[in-house]
Amino acid sequence: MLKINLVEDEALFAKSVARRLEREGYEVDISPNITLAKESLDNSLPDVLLLDVRLPDGSGLDLLSEIRMRDDSEWKALPVIIMTAYGELEDAISAMKLGATDYLKKPVDLDELILTLSKVVANKQIKQQLDYSHIRDSQSIDKTTMIGASKAVTALRQQIGRIAHLVDKSVDNHPVVLIRGETGTGKDVAARLYHQSGNWNSQPFVHVDCASLPSELIEAELFGYERGAFTNAHQAKAGLIEVAEGGTLFLDEVGELPLELQAKLLNVLERRLVRRLGSTKEIAISAHFVAATNRNLNDMVAEGTFRSDLLFRLNILELILPSLRERTEDISRLVDYFIDKISRRYGLSSPILSPEAIAAMQRYSWPGNIRELQHVLERAVMLCQHGVINSTDILLQSQPVITKTDALTASSQQFENMTLEEVEKYLIEKSLLRTHGNVSQSARELGLTRMAMRYRMDKYQL
């Protein structure tokens, strides 16, 4: 339950606000003056502080100033919503300059208060997640590793290290790195390895999945917005491009960006300036940009779905990730890595793979690449009962591939014992197998949007 500290000397108003907040699921602590508010804050910081300006023993602005001057990150990050009497605009301006999160005019509309609180709490949670990601990525003991000793992987690691070393020497306008590869080949691993190989590795690594962000939100998420830029934009918010300042912005599945946003992204890459929605001010940025795709961007340019000038800008430094079937000599190392990782996650003893199981895995084409390998091994480890995983325990896609037409004309006996969800999962699996894990191509074949395809893949754990 989220805790709200309400600093308000008007008892009837305070009780009315408290009752409404408690009905909304908040825990409310009322402080009628600054002295009691300080005691409450010293005992335990709330999730949000609702602070009146005019109080019996002083000004709420002075308390806000003390809070922001504390040499403590939690106090500095405490969301504070100022309540000021109608017409006292100077107080509101002073509060925002002192670091207030937002302000409300009295008499306070309780519905507006609930909406403002929900936005403040949501932004606080997002900031905590970003801070956690920053700490995790910059201080984690388990750094990203690219498993394998094949010529392809060894050359790729050397290429990533060389590019990072050269970029270290550039002062600004760092070149964009484009990572190409099939679904499941580890494009995110390559991006993180590049980030960790540079002298900017202590800065944020921000992963943006362009395929999963709704089209109506992706612009605001990437570029940020100012207060009042659109409905419900009650306070300014930095975009993910700004959040990645000094670090790395990883644009995963960049081929899924709408055309109108491709133009804005090109402008950012060219000028290294970003402008929030609703703002006339441009902000200089010095993030390192990495883009990745499993689609053929040259074909998309020919189709008119991807800008040629953006492709030229992205394709300065290119990394090509090999498919797993092109590096079968790495399978045994990957198997050892994943089995150890999966066993530790579930508190199990690591099983042993029989030579027949290894041979079966090396013969398989792995349309889903490393991601599919990981999922196959996870199931095998969890169901292993005798400490040895045999070839019969490795469930690989061996059924014949069928098309939608095949499915519709197939005999009723083939599907009579299957549920609708099982048939749907079967068709998606076969499509992914046929397209070698290309999610976008499979979605088009099945008549789905990419987001709908992603939803079903998550649903069926594909």
- Are residues 171 and 240 both part of a single domain? yes
Distance, CA of 421 to CA of 443 (rounded, Å): 17
- Are residues 103 and 18 both part of a single domain? yes
- Are residues 119 and 164 both part of a single domain? no
| 141 is a domain residue | no
Distance, CA of 117 to CA of 79 (rounded, Å): 10
| 139 is a domain residue | no
Q: Is the pLDDT of residue 339 over 60?
A: yes
Mean pLDDT of 229-247: 82
| Amino acid symbol at 224 | G
Helix, strand, coil percentages (3-state) for the chain, rounded to 5, are: 50, 15, 35
CA-only gyration radius of the chain, Å: 27
- 173 exposed, middle or buried (CB, 10 Å; 0-12, 13-18, 19+)? exposed
| Model pLDDT, residue 121 | 78
Q: What string of DSSP letters covers 356-398?
A: HHHHHHHHS--TTHHHHHHHHHHHHHHH--SSEE-GGGS----
- Are residues 292 and 174 both part of a single domain? yes
- The residue from 274, 306, 322 where one domain ends is 322
Mean pLDDT of 142-154: 88
Q: In this predicted model, what pLDDT tens digit does every residue of 174-222 receive, in sequence order?
A: 889 999 999 899 999 999 999 999 999 989 999 998 887 777 788 888 9
- Are residues 130 and 200 both part of a single domain? no
- Are residues 49 and 173 both part of a single domain? no
| 148 is a domain residue | no
| Model pLDDT, residue 405 | 47
The residue among 394 and 289 whose pLDDT is bigger is 289
Q: In this predicted model, what pLDDT tens digit does every residue of 73-86 receive, in sequence order?
A: 778 888 999 998 75
pLDDT band at 128 (very low <50, low <70, confident <90, very high): low
- Are residues 206 and 291 both part of a single domain? yes
- Are residues 231 and 286 both part of a single domain? yes
Identify the three-state secondary structure at position 7. strand
CATH of residue 411? 1.10.10
| Model pLDDT, residue 196 | 94
CATH of residue 247? 3.40.50.300
pLDDT band at 132 (very low <50, low <70, confident <90, very high): very low
Q: Is the pLDDT of residue 21 over 80?
A: yes
- Are residues 161 and 292 both part of a single domain? yes
410-to-377, 430, 434 alpha-carbon distances in Å: 32, 15, 18
| 142 is a domain residue | no
Phi, psi of 452 (to 5 degrees): -65, -35
- Are residues 120 and 198 both part of a single domain? no
325-to-27, 368, 393 alpha-carbon distances in Å: 56, 10, 21
Q: What angle do CA 386, 388, 390 make, to 5 degrees?
A: 120
Q: In this predicted model, what pLDDT tens digit does every residue of 368-386 receive, in sequence order?
A: 899 999 999 998 998 887 8
- Are residues 376 and 410 both part of a single domain? no
Parent domain of 62 = 3-134
Phi, psi of 10 (to 5 degrees): -80, 105
pLDDT band at 131 (very low <50, low <70, confident <90, very high): low
22-31, 49-58, 166-175, 195-204: which has the minimum mean pLDDT? Answer: 166-175
Q: Residue 263: left if φ>0, alpha if ψ -120 to 50, beta else—which one? A: alpha
Mean pLDDT of 111-123: 84
- Are residues 409 and 288 both part of a single domain? no
pLDDT band at 90 (very low <50, low <70, confident <90, very high): confident
- The residue from 322, 337, 359 where one domain ends is 322
Mean pLDDT of 101-108: 86
| 67 is a domain residue | yes
Count of structural domains, the chain: 4
- The residue from 322, 349, 377 where one domain ends is 322
